[in-house]
Structure 1
Amino acid sequence: MLGAGVFGFGFSGLVDVVVLHHVLQWHHLVSGIYPMDTLAGLRTNLLADGLFSLVMLVGMTVGAGLLWRAERAASDPLAVHPLAGGALIGLGAFDVFDAVVNHMLLGLHQPLSQGGRYNPHWLVVSLLLVTAGYIVYRTGRPTGDDTSDG
């Protein structure tokens, strides 16, 4: 499950950057510190987004490596429910981290330029993803089996 969670965390971060930062252009990683309406500010924000994307790609690669290692070490194929649950937990965990650390504690950016108005909603949806992941994980895991790294 660890590999699936790490992969899900990185995937969620990468989707966040691509969709919210680049396609919708709602914010950038450090737009709460460096304004997006100046060329220097935009360049700084794009650089931060790019570096963050690289970190998320590394996270996805590490997660995929952990999954590969767990699959190779397992005597039976890895079960789908724990993997899907772990990935959902990772997806939600990134969003919880983003809401609490980046939005609320550090003020790096806000989901929309509404002064944090959407943070509670973002956090609730993120926690629902984590909860859904846990439920999916538990429904497919045999009792007492918590040894998989996948």
Structure 2
Amino acid sequence: MEKRQALNALSGMLFGLGLVAFFDETVFHQLLHWHHFYDKSTTDIGLVSDGIFHSFSWFATIASLFMFADLRRKNAFYGKRWIGGILTGAGAFQLYDGTVQHKLMSLHQIRYGVNILPYDLVWNITAAAMLAAGIFLLVNTRQGKKADA
């Protein structure tokens, strides 16, 4: 039982990480052109770094969906635990991105040429809220019953 619960959480975390990374790449990098994954070089290097980042998010998402399908096939899917994993993975990645990549490593900022404080606050508070909600669900489903999917 514990292995199945762990796999539900892990599958959800990978899906959440891949989903929020895919959203970040699509919206902020491609549609709005606010930044690249790595902004300390040429535009070409920035585009290559975006491609690597996009590949990472895509592989995480695909791996999570294979795990999801296997859990469903084995009748071992726990919906609330999986949702908890999604929120935990999405929140953890977004908080890591907003603190480590944006501030500590200075790979890029959310946006340039504006006061970034409101952007940072929204990004990191949203991340912390997703992370807290995900952890709450994971803790409360540790010994929970199988949820309908």
Asked if Structure 1 and Structure 2 have the same fold, meaning a TM-score greater than 0.5 normalized by the shorter chain, the answer is yes
| 2:82 corresponding residue in structure 1 | 83
Provide the rounded CA distance (Å) in 2 between the counterparts of 1:144 and 1:51: 38
The Cα shift of 1:145 comes to 4.8
- Inter-partner Cα distance in structure 2 for 1:19 and 1:45: 15
Query: How many residues are treated as equivalent by the alignment?
Result: 135
Query: Is the CA contact (8 Å cut-off) linking 1:6 and 1:59 kept in structure 2?
Result: yes
CA deviation after TM superposition for structure 1 residue 7, in Å: 1.1
Superposed CA deviations along residues 9-67 of structure 1, whole A, max 9, x for unmatched, are 01110110000111111111111x12xxxxxx222111110111011111111111222
Instruction: Give the alignment's Cα RMSD to 1 decimal.
Output: 2.2
CA contact (8 A) 1:103 1:116 kept: no
Once residues 127 and 133 of structure 1 are traced to their aligned partners in structure 2, the CA distance between those partners, rounded to angstroms, is 10
Q: Answer yes or no: is 1:13 the counterpart of 2:21.
A: yes
For 2:79 and 2:143, how far apart are their aligned partners in 1? 17
Mapping of 1:135-150 within 5 angstroms? 135-138=136-139, 141=141, 144-145=143-144
How many angstroms does 1:135 deviate by?
3.3
Closer, same or farther: CA 66–87 of 1 in aligned 2, 3 Å? same
C-alpha contact (below 8 Å) 1:11/1:60 kept by paired residues: yes
Structure 2 CA distance for aligned equivalents of residues 53 and 24 of structure 1: 16
CA distance in 1, matches of 2:103, 2:136: 28
Offset of residue 138 of structure 1: 4.9
1:1-150 matches, cutoff 5 A: 1-31=9-39, 33-34=40-41, 41-74=42-75, 78-113=77-112, 114=114, 117=117, 118-138=119-139, 141=141, 144-145=143-144
Structure with greater proportional helix content: 2
Q: What TM-score do you get using the length of structure 1 for normalisation? A: 0.79
| Structure 2, unaligned runs of 5 or more | 1-8
Shift of the alpha carbon at 1:73?
Answer: 3.0
Distance 2:127 2:96 in 1: 9
**In structure 2, how many angstroms separate the alpha carbons of the residues matched to 1:108 and 1:83?**
31
Structure 2 counterpart SS, 1:46 = helix
The aligned amino acid for 1:14 is F
Q: Match of 1:38?
A: none
1:43–1:115 Cα change, 3 Å: farther
